[in-house]
Amino acid sequence: MSYQAFENLRQHRTRLQNTIQLGSGIQLAAWRNDFDCVTQRSDHHTLSLYVDAGFNTWHKTRTGWQNGGGPDRFCLMPENSESTWDIRSEFSFVHLYCTNVHLRQLAEQIWDKSPSALSLDERIFAEDERITQLYRHFLLSCDWQQPANHLMLSSASSLLMTHILQHYSEVLWKLPAVRGGLAPAILRNIVAFIEANLACSLTLAELALQAGLSEFHFARMFKQSLKLAPHQYVMQRRMVRADQLVRHTLQPLTEIALACGFNSSSHFSNRFKSVYGITPSALRR
């Protein structure tokens, strides 16, 4: 789908650095901008995360222009809210776009009941340690275009939206407790599905669908069963498969990279070395 805030920025000086649409209905976009004036009004929610600089980003208020941006600050712009920005020096930021329909579905899946009303609070130049942790550790730490990273990106995005729901909306319900892991038959099917699709771009939504669960409940129950988050387990299996193929076949390394979900040989080599302490080519020699 197309998000208005994304399309609007493309009409300005803003330079798109990276973007990805995740299967769960969320889009991420990394931007740089400078010396620009932008007015945003969208039919969706936008979470804006300041990555680098931003001190000279000014927001128009009823009492005049105010600034307060900087690394790790965030702005939450609910659907149908209007905001005007004057960017007076270069800075970089990440946007997460999400519709209210998806947000409501997420709330219903987590709590198994529908909130009577659902709207987000506007936040400008705010700080939140949990949001900073999630986007610094997950969204900024990997190559978005690598299929092997899509599960981690979709998991982190889901955690971000769950946190937003809990702390910046009328939904004040506590997160439900995890009472057990996945049923043995479901766990076997999920493990088999993962093994058969290590070459593919997996997302949390796809795995949850295989289990017949919401993303939230699947992620928690999976971790309860295997003591690893889904993205950690899948990456572990990719590396085990890669090690077996490097050691025991004559398959070219580029083909092994693709078979394990990496469309870049250098990214595959770096990940392999971080796990095994040696590059695939050195191990082959």
pLDDT along the chain (285 residues), means of 10: 93 96 87 96 95 96 95 96 96 96 88 81 96 94 92 93 92 79 96 96 93 92 95 97 95 96 93 95 89
3-state secondary structure of 62: coil
| Phi-psi map region of 64: left, alpha, beta (phi>0 left; psi -120 to 50 alpha) | left
Q: How far apart (Å, rounded) are the C-alpha atoms in residues 199 and 31?
A: 29
Token look-up 């289990």 returns 211
pLDDT at 234: 97
Under 8 Å between Cβ of 48 and 93: yes
Q: How far apart (Å, rounded) are the C-alpha atoms in residues 182 and 140?
A: 31
Q: How far apart (Å, rounded) are the C-alpha atoms in residues 90 and 140?
A: 19
How far is residue 138 from each of residues 83, 90, 264, measured CA to CA in Å? 28, 24, 19
Predicted TM-score (pTM) of the model is 0.89
* Tokens of residue 261, six digits: 């979900």
pLDDT at 236: 97
Q: What residue type is assigned to position 104 of the chain?
A: R
How far is residue 19 from each of residues 26, 97, 241, measured CA to CA in Å? 11, 11, 29
Under 8 Å between Cβ of 93 and 18: no
3-state secondary structure of 148: helix
Under 8 Å between Cβ of 143 and 267: yes
pLDDT at 170: 84
Query: What's the CA angle centered on 143, arms 275 and 85, to 5 degrees?
Result: 145
How far is residue 149 from each of residues 24, 47, 72, 120, 193, measured CA to CA in Å? 15, 21, 22, 29, 17
Token look-up 């219903």 returns 108
User: Which of 235-264 are b and which e, b meaning 16 or more Cβ less than 10 Å from the residue's Cβ?
Assistant: bebbbebbbebbeeeeeebeebbbbbbbeb
Q: How far apart (Å, rounded) are the C-alpha atoms in residues 161 and 219?
A: 14
